[in-house]
A and B are shown apart, each in its own frame.
Chain A
Amino acid sequence: MPNLILMVALFLLLCIGLRMIFEPSFLKKIIGLGLFGHAINLSLLLSGWTAPQYPKIGRAAFLGGLSFENSSDPLPQALILTAIVIGFALTGFLILFHLMGEKESS
């Protein structure tokens, strides 16, 4: 059952994010992009542990007392970490681009 809920929730995030990108209003597009980004980051995180028991949660990936089997996967985390920051820069740049365009056209 929890899997089903997780699926539906991720589905909602993805779907609403995508749908809002289609809105004509610029701010809604940006909000949609944010939602979509969250959904993708979460999916990436989930892909870190491809066990039959899904999702299996590990402990933080630090050495010392932890083995490879019972810690969560560090690689997707590293990817997401940079993706969050790059996503922010992208959003900022997009907003600025739009605002400069508005300024010029008015």
Chain B
Amino acid sequence: MSLEASNLQFLCLILLVLHALNFTRFTSFSFIGASSLAFIAGLCFQNGLAPSHWALAEMSWSNLREFFFLLVSGLGIIIGIYSHIYMANYEPKERSRFFGYLGLFQWTCLLLVVSNHIYLFATAWELTSLTSFLLIGFDRNSPRAQRGAIQAFLVTGLGGVCLLGSLILLSQHFHTNFIDELILKIANQPSQASTLATALLMLAALTKSAQFPFHFWLPDAMHAPTPVSAYLHSATLVKLGVFLVALFWPGFQHIILWHVGLSGLGLITFAWGAGFAIFQTDMKAALANTTYSQLGLMMMLFSLSSDKARAAGFVVLLAHAFYKSSLFLSVGIISKATKSLDLRHCAGALRHSKLFLYLFAMAIFSLIAAPGSLGFVGKEWVMNILSGPFASNFAKYFSWICFVLGAYATILFGVLLFLRLYKAPSMPTPAKGHELTTSLALSFGILPILGILFGCFLDPILSWLHQLVPMIESLETPFAHLLGGNFFLSLLILVAGSWSAYKLSGDRKFLNKDWGEKFKTWSFSQIVQKICLVEIPRRLETTTAWFESKISKNAAQIAFLFFILLMLPLIDSLRWPALFDLPIEALAFVASVSAAGLLALTIYFISHSMTQIFLLGTVGYLVAFAYANFGAPDLVLTQIIIETASLVLLVFAWLLSNERKKSGAEKLGTLSSLYSWLFSIGVSIFLIGFLFLSPLAGGFQKLSSLYFFENANALAFGINIVNVIIVDFRGLDTLGEISVLALAAMGAQALYQRRFRVRQISPHPFSSDWTRRLAKIFSLALMLFGVFYLLRGHHAPGGGFIGGGLGSLSLAIWMMSYGKPVYGPFWALSGLVIAYASALLPQILGLHFFESFLSLMGPSSLFFDIGVFAVVTGSVASLLEILYAMWNEEQGRRTHA
């Protein structure tokens, strides 16, 4: 059976639903189920994970996506089983939180691997950072875990921002929003990719994979529960950086900055991490050090432009996935048995169970790349590549030194770890934990065994590599040069490393020393945590306080000064506009705007706030009239509806505000008043100048291009161009806007009662039986009217925003007369879901992200408009509701008093 990419979106939805079950009682079962489903589905994608219409299905890196898909989901199964046993003694609530986060992570990671649209890709990238943050900080009582989580999020999150910036730069330059097309276009003209975009992309990969200047976050992320460390911080999340490099390899392989920077930093990381791992006493932190060290090796291999290096990279990656997660899981077992993560207290932990001992030995075997393991194959190939030609002698010596140092330190670390854990314990441990050890070890037993099996029987690996790197001509097995110089060198390193490990394991002074404390003051993570979590917030606070104390009284003067600076370049281009005769609509437009201006002047000189509010409403309606005369019917409707809503809002604000009760409102000082007048007048002249002077110089042209007129009907199937622009051509902007709207409404709810709905609300005191009957009819009619405007929006004035405004007024009437809550956030959230779903819907049907098509019920952007409708309805109504509820509360308090 083979699946197509159009099934992929369905698969993602099913997986999301399954993972949502993690938050219920099904926890581990739904997690394992979802992982298995994803794994099986991943096996069924014959073509790699590139859909047929992506046009580039046969290119190798679509197989790359499939490989990562299988890696994430396959390891998910094993981690799920392990965590089921490991988390058994946690409370059900904690368990479901754990599996919920883990499931969310897996889902975002799979989404990242399959997504092709740049925004989806960058969003998923950032979401993986976010879920990693949640999982690292899983233990809410540990301040170290919280600090580690924030630090990891800061580093990887900033990397995500870099990724977004780079992708936007590249997509602007190459005129495509799709990653595969982007890579193809860069591959055709590599010199066109800007240095900035390349550097930002490199930064994203380096931060995610914890490479040299950013390596510090990984050891601190180890305060997460052990299954998380094994899953995220050794096998999947941190490999995403490598994934990014491997994905963009066809485009960037010949760019010097790319492969020199990545391979140099990767090699430094390789030696650095392995070296520092030896001194760590915390087992998980030590393993984290070797993790980023190995990632450095992969980073180096994937950034080089040779196919051989790429093949070696895949082998190292696979071997690492096998042994590193099993080492982490073993450490979890040891910490369960000995209640400690400190190497100095865990001697003899390996003796609890024979099975566990063998599995651990196999994993260590792979780690030190001894002959007969998959790691050995990778290492031999790496040495083969390093024997090849170099650009300069310096590069050659540098690479060899880093590699030999790193390999030596890795072997030393691995053997030392094994010896220390195998050494007879100073006191015997109770035997009751041993069964648990065996069952936990069984759950991941397949991983180290696979590492050894693949190392001995290379055929499946070679055929797999041919699939991943099809351009490669021939791959020689590492046993081909058994008697070559490289083989002797690697044997020498192996022997030297093991011998020094044996010597060190007898050195009590070295073993008992707390090296972590020694390095602490100068470690990167200490410095970063101090700066980001202590220094910057404190500085910001003092700066703001200083600024406030200086500025608050002189705001007008300072703003005026800024304005003078702004004004200077404009002064010499000042010219007077010409005068013309105008048609009647234009005159009406001018008349209404000038009436609005005069009213504004009146508003300023009236001191009574309520009058001012109503006059502001009048200004709003006059502006609506001006819109009508300008030929903008959509704006008229929106303006009238929103003006009504904001009038209600302002009246409630006036009723609630303390200022009403104060007699003799405070006034601005004379000097400040003068300066603020000067500032306001100046800014207005400046803005008006821009508006009226520039057209005189330029020719006859409109802001928007002819494009909207020519394509509105053909591409978006609508004739009301304003609405077509909102929901279709600029749909992504609208999506952002309604998200902001929904956030404002939910933020307001949270601000008011820290919950999602208003708790207490009662009917308006003026409402009676007959007003209620009237309100029922009116609100129903308004709602129907709103839906009518929504539905006709594509072809006549109307649309989601206007319909939503009417809907919210209808809800507000209902609320005030019956005293029922409107559930605004519910409306807003479901609207957002509808809007996002309809943005993704075209992908299921094999079209581009946000592309519209003609469905049975009309143009597809109608669904998006429905989402807009619900969001606007919910958020406007919920703002009105909160103010009404506050007023209600105060009213109640007054009757009590």
Contacts and interface: CB of A to CB of B under 8 A. Distances in A.
B876 interface: yes
Given A72-B630, A99-B653, A16 B589 contact: no
Contacts of A31: 603, 612-613, 616, 650
Contacts of A8: 594, 597
Given A3-B580, A35-B616, A58-B631, A81 B598 contact: no
A88 B645 contact: yes
A89 B703 contact: no
A59 B631 contact: yes
A19 B623 contact: no
B723 to A, nearest CB: 8
B734 interface: yes
B576 to A, nearest CB: 9
Nearest to B699: A52
Contacts of B679: 18, 22
B638 A85 contact: yes
Contact of B657 (A92, A97, A99): A99
A87 B751 CA distance: 19
A27 B309 CA distance: 68
B182 interface: no
B720 A88 contact: no
B170 interface: no
Main secondary structure of the interface of A (DSSP, over half): helix
23 contacts: A11-B688, A16-B601, A19-B604, A22-B676, A23-B668, A25-B659, A30-B650, A34-B619, A34-B646, A41-B623, A42-B623, A63-B709, A63-B712, A81-B638, A86-B737, A89-B740, A89-B741, A89-B744, A89-B876, A92-B876, A93-B748, A95-B649, A96-B882
A27 B607 CA distance: 11
A30 B883 CA distance: 15
Contact of B656 (A25, A54, A78, A99): A99
Contacts of A47: 691, 703
A42 B626 contact: yes
A8 B801 CA distance: 32
B371 interface: no
A90 B744 contact: yes
Interface residues of B, number: 118
B748 A92 contact: yes
Interface of B: 555-556, 577-580, 582-583, 585-587, 589-590, 593-598, 600-601, 603-604, 609, 612-613, 616, 619-620, 623, 626-627, 629-635, 638-639, 642, 645-646, 649-650, 653-654, 656-659, 665-668, 672-673, 676-677, 679-681, 683-685, 687-688, 691-692, 694-696, 698-704, 706, 708-709, 712-713, 719-726, 730, 733-734, 737, 740-741, 744-745, 747-748, 751-752, 796-797, 801, 804-805, 872, 875-876, 879-880, 882-883, 886
A54 B691 CA distance: 11
A42 B712 CA distance: 25
Nearest to A53: B580
Nearest to A10: B688
Interface of A: 1-20, 22-28, 30-31, 34-35, 38, 41-43, 45-64, 68, 71-78, 80-82, 84-93, 95-100, 102, 106
Nearest to B631: A72
Contacts of B730: 78
Nearest to B628: A60
Contacts of B633: 60
Nearest to A40: B687
A52 B696 contact: yes
Nearest to B555: A22
A28 B586 CA distance: 32
A100 B751 contact: yes
Given A50-B694, A57-B629, A89-B875, 13 more contacts: A8-B597, A9-B597, A22-B673, A25-B609, A27-B654, A28-B612, A35-B600, A54-B692, A61-B631, A68-B702, A74-B704, A86-B737, A86-B740
Contacts of A48: 702-704
A56 B586 contact: yes
B647 to A, nearest CB: 10
A50 B702 contact: yes
A49 B198 CA distance: 40
B832 to A, nearest CB: 14
A42 B722 CA distance: 16
Pick the most buried of B587, B631, B645, B706: most chain A CB atoms within 10 A of its CB. Answer: B631
A73 B265 CA distance: 53
A20 B604 CA distance: 7
B680 A60 contact: no
A4 B879 contact: no
A68 B709 CA distance: 7
B594 A6 contact: yes
Contacts of A12: 597-598, 600-601
The 8 A-B residue pairs whose C-beta atoms are closest, nearest first, are: A9-B597, A75-B704, A12-B597, A92-B879, A18-B680, A9-B594, A14-B684, A22-B676
